Amino acid sequence: MAKTIGKDEGATAQARSFETVIGSGGETHQIAGADGEVLTTQQGVPVADDQNHLKVGERGPALLEDFHFREKIFHFDHERIPERVVHARGFGVHGSFTLTESLGDVTTAKILTEVGEKTPMFVRFSTVAGNKGSADLARDVRGFAMKFYTKEGNWDLVGNNIPVFFIQDAIKFPDLIHAAKQEPDRGFPQAQTAHDNFWDFISLTPESMHMVMWIMSDRTIPRSLRMIEGFGVHTFRLIDAKGKGTYVKFIWKPKLGLQSVLWNEAVKINGADPDFHRRDLWDAITMGTPPEWELGVQLFDDDFADAFDFDVLDATKLIPEEQIPVRIIGTFVLDRVVDNFFAETEQVAFCTQNVVPGIGFTNDPLLQGRNFSYLDTQLKRLGSPNFTHIPINAPHAPVANFQQDGHMAMRNPKGRANYEPNSWDGPRESPTTGYKHFAAEETGRKAQVRSPSFADHYSQARQFFISQTDIEQKHIGDALVFELSKVERVDIREAIVGHLRNIDGKLAQTVAAGLGLKALPKAAKAAVQTRTDLPASDALSIAKQAKHSFEGRKLGILVSDGADAAIVTALIDAVGKAKAVYEVITPKVAGATLDDGTLLEAKQKIDGGPSILYDAVALVLSADGAAMLSKDKTAKDFVADAFGHSKFIGYTADALPLIDRAGIAKEDMDEGLIALGGKPDVARFLKACGEARLWARELSTDLDAAAFLAPADA
């Protein structure tokens, strides 16, 4: 009898204590058994028939007397709440934060001073522009919002995977989002900025150009939510027991490192699995490999703020880590999925104003506007000022106040007094433990103005661009050409290239050439001339922070009947040692029988498991299997896409005909294609996979590489 290598047998169906019976009209009823749960109405009334509406006769009119029907339909009709205007598509998970280094010298916040304290938290990842039904791999900023259930109340650190933003003042936020979302007369495009309205707005808003460099980079098409950084964006304050303030920026770094996909790959992933990021995070947690991040801070005082080249209150600017290194103060792990998506992920409410004693705000005008807007939006979405009564939003710390009534109030003050001060009883303020705002001295005339210190819109954009490796710079150019090629108005395209000239001349030329512009447009008028003395920062590059590890990644193993069992076993063992995962793809989802008679179960049929879903692939085929798959377009796409996306490909000798039929000529085979003849080859292959991609291949195969590699005009 053949042995089987296959899926975990732990996912067995739960036993059901229900009995299925057939009703008098032929309908099916699930009758609760001795241990079964009885179906009831919302009022707790047992339901006898959940299949049929109450009627007059078998074919007669339905009766409104059927209160179970009315309640069921009533609730169904009101299931949906308004989706978020931005960050509508999100995915939330639970975790915990552990402090490893105290900041007791600069703050009273217990979550930042009590080393070893484990604080429960909830994190919601999201995209910004698309609606709830959009795909995961849109080119977009990723929201990274964290709710810490501290002993002193909830602290919401509402961040992104990018440390800067498009605008400097919150009054422009509605305009930015209106421009980025689908155009109002046609309702498309969905979840993408490649259209006239967005780039028209950007062309008229030069303060956005630093953010444009980030969103056109690989940061906005991440390989996994487990592989993104997080940033608080704004400058906040930490406040000590004496009321002294210290400026702080929050940054969190993934232990798995950073990784992204290619744009062509992202487009195809959205078709093959629009839930790619959700599924990836769910699988990692449920398989017992929860992702972790290190939480860090950049701390500085007024002297640094005054001497820094840019205004620390400007949300379009960052502080390079080379100037103020990130001080790691703790770690957090996300290790529990939600019980119910709507109750938790959809109803969670983040507010930037939610801070605890010892954490405060600055005069960043974007932050000040967010503090108003986030609270305001919860009333619209969740329908009541009592949204903190929803369990996912409820503090774990005790709550005591005189706020009362309103829709869905789950708690109200007890006793006679519902006001303060009173001479009865109830909670009282505490000057010793209560929240104290930073005592800042403010002077100035009342006016609608923008500080001149906010006026340099290009210098840090240039710094970001020159910090990238060659291939990352190429991807930025590719992205700009793609996005602007979807813009119908030539004058808007030209205006953006004019802004790019203030950032990098070669980038501007590359984009102009990619768009086929007849002449290079004039540089945009700059309020402040671009500084060219700012040094490159390795922390701004994904490639320069590479972990050189395959941990947390996924190998796709394409297998046919008669394939070499020893190679398959060696691959599976090597993947496990690398703390990675694998999926087997076969011509039929039932699996493949290897050359030793072993039945290898499959996770995917070749049609449903394209190579875009994997970080690297291995082709373990027999001669007959390769001959069969060489006739299949999907199998040829599997290999061609992996090669075109610069992935490492392991292959057995019998797989060569499929490689050839996929359009990869013998002379095109490079060091990224690794022959698998035995265990040493498998080890070499897995080590190579830790480099993520063979970028040299893209520079030799992509048509756009020629323009990128050409020298800039003098």
CA atoms within 13 Å, Cβ hemisphere of 693: 24
User: Peptide bond before 385: cis, by omega within 30 degrees of 0?
Assistant: no
3-state secondary structure of 19: strand
CA dihedral 127, 132, 134, 140 (to 10 degrees): -10
Calpha distance 47→54 (Å, rounded): 13
Calpha distance 51→29 (Å, rounded): 7
Annotate 388-444 with DSSP letters as a single string: GGSGGGS-SS--------STT------SS--SSS-SS-S----TTTS----------
Report the sign of the C-alpha dihedral through residues 519, 521, 523, 525, in that order.
Answer: positive
In contact, 54 and 63? CB cutoff 8 Å: yes
Q: Which residues are catalytic, by number?
A: 87, 160
Which position has the token pair 């209560």?
Answer: 434
Q: Which of 198, 185, 97 is nearest to 141 (CA)?
A: 198
HEC profile of 52-92: CCCECCCCCCECCCCHHHHHHHHHHHCCCCCCCCCCCCEEE
Calpha distance 51→210 (Å, rounded): 59
Q: Other CB atoms closer than 10 Å to residue 334's CB: what's the count?
A: 24
Bridge partners of residue 330, in order along the sequence:
99, 295
Beta carbons within 8 Å of 147's beta carbon, 6+ residues apart: 121, 122, 123, 154, 155, 156, 348, 350, 354, 393
No. of helices (H) and no. of strands (E), the chain: 20, 21
**Phi (first) and psi of residue 620, to 5 degrees:** -115, 95
Q: Which of 554, 591, 555, 564 is nearest to 676 (CA)?
A: 564
In order of 57, 62, 66, 488, 592, the CA distances from 53 in angstroms are: 11, 7, 7, 55, 49
**Phi (first) and psi of residue 46, to 5 degrees:** -60, 140
Beta carbons within 8 Å of 382's beta carbon, 6+ residues apart: 81, 347, 349, 390
With b for 16 or more beta-carbon neighbours within 10 A and e for fewer, the 403-418 pattern comes to eeeeeeeeeebeeeee
